[in-house]
Chains A and B, each alone.
Chain A
């Protein structure tokens, strides 16, 4: 019996890969959510595409159970893992497993605001969160987004195209500070500004209260003393891998996730982890391509053919239609330079002193050149 904890992209992709290869081992999926299959990346384009939450459901729990021959235990929270006994405790119930897979994802970090309306600071980290925001933003609304990372920018683009007024507040000096070189971040910022998004850089929100003058509106105070009156506050300041259950069970964990090797195996031989909750051979990936690589490899392993996840270069795409961005971050430090030529858009290469290409970032029309850039990156010489 394989028990999978979590019914997000990671848990369900593993289930699909197992059945694709004809593996007949019994599988039970335990999920605190409703067990509907949906794609989290699609939550970032839902407003522009006018998607109701139900339209983002690919299959409900019943359909998943039938199509993939699994027992789906929805609205079920696991309380404790007993690694020695190889059992999972769910309340008073003791569920035995041969192999346990942790696909718990990551939780939105708390921005730590004070005030009487802190429960109105919403993150959009799952379909239920999306439904809540969508229900609330029917009329054109004023939205304050905390965080100018990938998710903050995608939501900003989505909400503004959806007809809302959007401002991003971030303590950083540019958008996507950990992924993009400054000129490229600036290009993306300009694209968002052209759609009407406003920015407050080097600022943090400190408090949020109900605005007495307006029904349901919020008053957010920033650390420079200024105030914003808005209808919604969306927090997109980052995700923390869900490590608590693994930690309580004595598995090796860190703030970067449940520590697993390239086989997705944890410090316990019968417990695996993949997706946003895992730190695989030292890296926590919060993207779909690495998740899929792990799902495919782990399915083979669980089916009797131990396989290490292969990670080719997996560029990160920022789904901001106002200025699409594609970045292949370097693994080691190098120097970012703008590369001239090509038509519109912006291209930047990250190179070593000897000129070898370590990574690249493309914006606007230049994202269409991804194939030639990937080839250059993968070539042995990698020079210009």
Chain B
């Protein structure tokens, strides 16, 4: 499971955890997160997230 980091504010989307508050189940791969999902902390779009290298 991968982690994705918002390049604007640093929030981490962890695929293992998903984001249940927004209806994104644990285990949801980044590609399957809705395209209009925005960073919960700062509001930027998916395009401003990058993969966190292990």
Contact = CB atoms under 8 A, between A and B. Distances in A.
Interface of A: 9, 13, 20, 39, 41-42, 45, 58, 287-289, 291-293, 296, 315, 317, 319, 371
A42 B21 contact: no
B21 to A, nearest CB: 5
30 contacts: A9-B8, A13-B44, A20-B45, A39-B7, A41-B8, A41-B9, A41-B10, A42-B8, A42-B10, A45-B10, A58-B7, A58-B48, A287-B42, A288-B9, A288-B41, A288-B42, A288-B43, A289-B41, A289-B43, A291-B43, A292-B38, A292-B42, A292-B43, A292-B44, A293-B43, A296-B43, A315-B41, A317-B41, A319-B10, A371-B21
A317 B8 CA distance: 13
Nearest to A292: B43
**Do most interface residues of chain B lie in helix, strand or loop, or is the interface mixed?**
loop
Given A13-B44, A293-B43, A317-B41, A288 B10 contact: no
Given A292-B42, A292-B43, A292-B44, A39 B9 contact: yes
Nearest to A293: B43
Contacts, number: 38
Interface of B: 7-10, 21, 38, 41-45, 48
A40 to B, nearest CB: 9
B49 to A, nearest CB: 12
A211 B2 CA distance: 50
A317 B7 contact: no
Contact of A317 (B9, B21, B38, B48): B9
A316 to B, nearest CB: 10
Nearest to B44: A292
A169 B45 CA distance: 38
Contacts of A39: 7-9
B42 A41 contact: yes
A45 B7 CA distance: 12
A93 to B, nearest CB: 33
Contacts of B45: 20
Q: 5 closest Cβ contacts across the A-B interface?
A: A292-B43, A288-B42, A39-B8, A371-B21, A41-B9
B39 to A, nearest CB: 8
Contacts of A293: 43
A378 to B, nearest CB: 12
B54 to A, nearest CB: 15
Nearest to A316: B41
Contacts of A287: 42
A41 B11 CA distance: 11
Contact of B7 (A42, A291, A319): A42
A9 B48 CA distance: 12
A45 B41 CA distance: 16
A197 B8 CA distance: 26
A289 B38 CA distance: 10
B5 to A, nearest CB: 10
Best-surrounded residue of A39, A287, A291 (most CB of chain B within 10 A): A39
A42 B8 CA distance: 7
A7 to B, nearest CB: 15
A287 B8 CA distance: 11
Given A42-B7, A45-B10, A315-B41, 6 more contacts: A13-B44, A288-B43, A289-B42, A289-B43, A291-B43, A317-B9
Contacts of B44: 13, 288, 292
